[in-house]
Chains A and B, each alone.
Chain A
């Protein structure tokens, strides 16, 4: 079974600085999807960024980018120019490309709580 590990329960960053959140995963599959979700205090789950494993190029969405190291099974999230609104729980998640049954489920890490200091 696949697992997702986020080793940093909490992180802190100064406003306008850059922070990197770590995520590792374990799988025997060669193709899959990886995601970062943000959960602010409003508790809404917001998709931040996604990566298809077959793509070597790291995904980027404005101030958010990932460092995807497939061989190392590592998927870190970099937030540049941090803003107060970035303060939230961040969840790394894995999903198989197989569709059907339980394989389509998102498997989440335990989350990293990010604080942004003004």
Chain B
């Protein structure tokens, strides 16, 4: 059983389109995250979310929005895609104060 699953694994789309990436975790974790990995492999937090609170990294454009239908899901919606949005997006989850994350396998987004 996959602990954190993301779909799709690859996404190619044109500039200006709107797209979504889905994430589901079956670990019972209380917090989920979205990270962006750029072309230089740098990983940066975009959002963190638990039942009580959504924290948005201030550098993330408001074209990006997380949506959580329930505790096990945190989807990422992106409006008006731009070339600079091309990257690998990782979903992750964690539980409580113990530090480690479990990551999904990533979604490679290519905007053409």
Interchain CB contact under 8 A, A106 and B45: yes
Inter-subunit contact B41/A89 (CB<8 Å): yes
**Which B residues, 30 to 87, have Cβ-Cβ distances below 8 Å to chain A?**
31, 33, 35, 40-45, 48, 53, 55, 57
Contact B42 A95 (CB under 8 A): no
Q: Is the Cβ of B53 less than 8 Å from the Cβ of A101?
A: yes
A50 to B97, CA, bound (A): 14
- Binding site secondary structure of chain B: strand
Q: Which residues of B contact A52 (CB under 8 A)?
A: 99
**Can you name 14 A-B residue pairings with CB atoms under 8 Å?**
A42-B105, A43-B106, A45-B92, A52-B99, A89-B41, A91-B43, A97-B97, A100-B53, A101-B53, A104-B31, A106-B35, A106-B43, A106-B99, A110-B41
- Interface of A with B (CB < 8 Å)? 33, 35, 39, 42-45, 47, 50, 52, 89, 91, 95, 97, 99-102, 104-108, 110-111
**Chain B residues near A (Cβ < 8 Å):** 31, 33, 35, 40-45, 48, 53, 55, 57, 88, 90, 92, 94, 96-97, 99-103, 105-106, 108
